[in-house]
Amino acid sequence: MIRNFNSFCKLSVGTVRNRDGSRLQNGPTEVWTTLKDMYETCPECDYRRQASDEGPLDRCPRCGLIFSKWMKTRFHVDTTVPGKEESTARFFQRLKATVLYVPSPIDPLVFYGRLLLYVAFVVWGFRFIQMSFTTNEIGASFMHNVNLVFHEAGHWIFRPFGNFITVLGGTLGQLLMPLIALIALIRQNRDNFGASLGLWWFAQSMMDVAPYVNDARAGQLMLLGGVTGRDMPGVHDWHNILSTLGWLHLDHRIAAGIDFTGELLMWLAFLWGGYILYLQRRELRR
């Protein structure tokens, strides 16, 4: 009986549940106490064992209750590893808690400042959504100049990884920078409103890439340095990328897909930022 008792105590480090599936309120500690005291007090009739009592230690001298059987009907020890579905559910729960976090309380002045900023970015973002990637209207915007800085830096950053990645590095640079800002705002600052603007920037940068991809075969866009891809073969990033991959004939389709994805992410940024403001309004300092 002592061997069985010790074995059960080792198992009790798992999740202890009642037969109805609910967790035992105090977990393993309560189970240990219950098992230890069971040798002295019967859980069924409350009889306290006396020194003069005879019979097996695992059985109540008065009512004959067998403690090991009582434990099997009273408790269920869950030692199973969480399944794939449960792990996935936990992941999405943590993700939801992370991206929808808002501090409390919220300073009203800060909140209304963010509200004005949100309206401005929605109007600005909607303007980008209306632009056609086939005309490169987005190339004349202020944000194009911002993205261009990181585009050119990307070529230098990715140069050690070979010619193909160096060429692709321009696009990677202008897309990675808003992603880095987005992740930093979530993880370091816990500022989900700021992160929604990071997603806005990433979406806009994707739409900024689309006209460049669309021009891969035509080579008509004016590039940095005042030349076009047709004027100087070999300088157009996306002509080189798609030619290497054998996808040059798909340039218009790929550009359309990139632009469409950017538009979807822009709408997602609107929804995310708006919902964060809704949650923050509920936490306004009174």
Q: Which residue has the higher pLDDT, 95 or 65?
A: 95
Nearest alpha-carbon partner for 182 in 174, 192, 172: 192
Find out whether 210 and 256 touch, Cβ atoms under 8 Å. Answer: yes
Question: What is the share, in percent, of the chain residues with pLDDT greater than 90?
Answer: 60
Is residue 79 over pLDDT 80? no
Mean pLDDT comparison of 1-10, 37-46, 128-137, 220-229, highest-scoring range = 128-137
Residues 156 and 114: their CA atoms lie apart, in Å, by 36
> Cα separation of 129 and 270, whole Å?
12
pLDDT at 252 over 70: yes
Q: Is the pLDDT of residue 279 over 60?
A: yes
Specify whether the CB–CB gap between 236 and 219 falls below 8 A.
yes
Q: What is the pLDDT of residue 10?
A: 40
What percent of the chain lies above the pLDDT cut of 70? 82
Sole residue written with tokens 């969480």: 82
Q: Average pLDDT of 70-76? A: 68
Q: What is the mean pLDDT of residues 259-283?
A: 97
Model confidence pLDDT, tens digit, residues 142-159: 999 999 999 999 999 999
* Orientation angle between helical segments 108-130 and 192-214, nearest 10 degrees: 10
24-47 burial code (b ≥16 CB/10 A, e <16): beeebeebeebbeebeeebeeeeb
**Tens-place pLDDT, residues 119-134:** 999 999 999 999 999 9
Contact 65, 4 (CB under 8 A): no
* pLDDT for 269 beyond 90: yes
| CB 212, CB 185: distance < 8 Å | no
Q: What is the pLDDT of residue 56?
A: 79
Instruction: Check residue 4 and give its pLDDT.
Output: 44
Phi and psi angles of residue 18, each rounded to the nearest 5 degrees, phi first:
-75, 170
CA distance 162 to 86: 42
- 42-51, 111-120, 174-183: least confidently modelled range: 42-51
Average pLDDT over the chain reads 84
Q: Is 129 left (phi over 0), alpha (psi -120 to 50) or beta?
A: alpha
Confidence of residue 80 (pLDDT cuts 50, 70, 90): low
Judge whether residue 76 has pLDDT over 60: no
Taking only the tens place, the pLDDT of each residue in 160-202 is 999 999 999 999 999 999 999 999 999 999 999 999 999 999 9
Q: What are phi and psi of 179, to 5 degrees?
A: -65, -40
